[in-house]
Amino acid sequence: MDQYVHVLQEGIAAEDYVVATYFVGVKRETDIVKYAESIAFEQTTGTWVKVPGETQDIREKYGGKVIGIYEIPAYEYAIPPGVQDRQFIIRIAYPLGNFGHNFPLLLTTVFGNISSMGIIKLIDVEFPLEYTQGFKGPQFGIEGVRKILGAYNRPLVLNMIKPCTGFTPEAGARLFYEAGKGGVDIIKDDELIADPSFCPLKMRVKKYMEQCRRIYEENGKKVLYTPNITCRPDKILDQAKVAIDAGANALMLNYLTVGMAAIEILVEADEIQVPILGHSDFAGALYESPHSGVSSTLVQGKFPRLLGLDMVLVLNPYGKFPYLRDQYLRVCQNLRSRFYNIKTSFPMIGGGVHPGVMDKMIDDLGIDCIIGAGGAIHAHPGGPSAGTKAFFQAIEAALSGMGLHEAAKIHEELRVALELWK
């Protein structure tokens, strides 16, 4: 056992390392100590064969440190005869000096080449305070978004314009107004529309923001609109400026398809002084396998929060996508729990949400969440305004303890929604 590779957690200066935690699966005969060493070497100073330049001094200063190997179940004195595959949690500490505040290089370090090693999944990354201070985090966060909207003691309600794409700016503006006059707090573009010829970004923003002003003049209701500025990373800032110059009071980015580091381009730009919503499409390609990839708690939780998203789309276990409730709760915890100097981010719960699940969502998350609804607002038989009202009626019922079905006896919009979507 190499003394420069294996140390106790207490044997390293915690402020100098990022610690990655992995789930791994190996064959019965695998030497798990050498396996863990191979990860530490591969991701820092070494390769598959020893090379002369990898001196002991280099290993000690820049090599990964195996600080934990834990088997599940925790066999101690023997491995049962029928067991052919073994499962472990491995924790490895990586020196900050290897990658600094370069987030893409951090990802390369903690899960680059080893992501192709078979059964291995990155399930957590722990950061020291010094590292997080190199990132701005959310500019507004939960408190800031609430302050802009003047909405405090309830979940926020967000609407996605539906249909997803294929409509003109004028048609989208009509849908925008109908949802907005029903009381919705935030309206976002669908992730599938950005700057197409049939609905250009600049024109769309101008038309939608006209409706924002109209809604405010009619009932004093502030609405945030998050236009989708997803494009090539080198064009992100230009698109953001187009949207803001056209009047946008928020932005949206498909942060996983563009690349997570693109978030920093927006957050660090002085001219971008509006909340940013991150759409997490493509996340399933990273987290869905139980044996490989990157945990959703990182992909949708800790990473986008560290990089600066004010709001992040999170799937839920009650909608149209398969997702475990405990993972959904953990992602939201990663967005809202104390994290050094980093502000909290709003979990925006989407993926087939309708009024019939409001009691469950509020029971799960309380008020610090955004309820994201598309089809359940625009497909309401009474129109988008009625669909929005049904959500607010369901939220009020859940918060008051009345219950959805009791509230449906006095609210027609909610009654219709519950009958339609059960």
Q: What is the pLDDT of residue 59?
A: 79
- Looking at the structure, tell me whether residues 152 and 77 fall in a common domain: no
**Does residue 37 lie in a domain region?**
yes
What domain count does the chain have?
2
Last residue of a domain, one of 132, 155, 180: 132
Q: What is the pLDDT of residue 100?
A: 93
* Count of Cβ atoms closer than 10 Å to residue 2 Cβ: 15
- Looking at the structure, tell me whether residues 218 and 344 fall in a common domain: yes
Q: What is the pLDDT of residue 234?
A: 95
Given a contact cutoff of 8 angstroms between Cβ atoms, the answer to whether 362 and 148 are in contact is no
pLDDT higher than 70, residue 35 = yes
The CA dihedral of 104, 295, 282, 356, to the nearest 10 degrees, is -140
**Does residue 375 lie in a domain region?**
yes
- Looking at the structure, tell me whether residues 90 and 167 fall in a common domain: no
**DSSP class per residue in 148-201:** HHT--SS-EEEEE-SSSSS--HHHHHHHHHHHHHTT-SEEE--TT-SS-TTS-H
| Closest residue by Cα to residue 106 from 119, 94, 123, 114 | 94
Confidence of residue 319 (pLDDT cuts 50, 70, 90): confident
**Does residue 1 lie in a domain region?**
no
d(CA 244, CA 57): 52
CATH of the domain at 61: 3.30.70.150
Q: What is the pLDDT of residue 412?
A: 96
Averaged pLDDT for residues 22-46? 93
Beta-sheet pairing, 156-160 with 85-95: unpaired
- Looking at the structure, tell me whether residues 145 and 122 fall in a common domain: no
**Does residue 216 lie in a domain region?**
yes
d(CA 422, CA 413): 14
279 a catalytic residue: yes
Q: Which residues are CB-neighbours of 106 under 8 A, at least 6 positions away?
A: 18, 99, 125
d(CA 279, CA 269): 20
- Looking at the structure, tell me whether residues 39 and 188 fall in a common domain: no
- Looking at the structure, tell me whether residues 319 and 382 fall in a common domain: yes
* Both tokens assigned to 125: 């990354």
Marked catalytic residue, from 65, 121, 162, 411: 162
Given a contact cutoff of 8 angstroms between Cβ atoms, the answer to whether 342 and 306 are in contact is yes
- Looking at the structure, tell me whether residues 211 and 126 fall in a common domain: no
- Looking at the structure, tell me whether residues 82 and 149 fall in a common domain: no
Last residue of a domain, one of 80, 105, 132: 132
Residue found by looking up tokens 């059964």 in the block = 119
Q: What is the pLDDT of residue 164?
A: 85
Given a contact cutoff of 8 angstroms between Cβ atoms, the answer to whether 94 and 68 are in contact is no
Marked catalytic residue, from 221, 279, 378, 389: 279
162 a catalytic residue: yes
**Does residue 30 lie in a domain region?**
yes
**Does residue 272 lie in a domain region?**
yes
Percent over 90 (pLDDT), the chain = 86
Q: What is the pLDDT of residue 47?
A: 66
Last residue of a domain, one of 99, 132, 165: 132
d(CA 274, CA 251): 7
- Looking at the structure, tell me whether residues 150 and 122 fall in a common domain: no
- Looking at the structure, tell me whether residues 16 and 37 fall in a common domain: yes
**Does residue 107 lie in a domain region?**
yes
Q: Which helix (H) or strand (E) holds 183?
A: none
- Looking at the structure, tell me whether residues 158 and 219 fall in a common domain: yes
Is there a cis peptide before residue 73, judged by omega within 30 degrees of 0? yes
Averaged pLDDT for residues 155-166? 92
pLDDT higher than 70, residue 3 = no
pLDDT higher than 80, residue 87 = yes
CATH of the domain at 213: 3.20.20.110
H helix runs in 158-235, sequence order? 169-181, 201-219
Averaged pLDDT for residues 367-393? 94
- Looking at the structure, tell me whether residues 205 and 111 fall in a common domain: no
pLDDT higher than 90, residue 121 = yes
C-alpha 143: how far from its chain's center? 18
Range(s) of the domain holding residue 92: 9-132
**Does residue 3 lie in a domain region?**
no
pTM for the full predicted model: 0.95
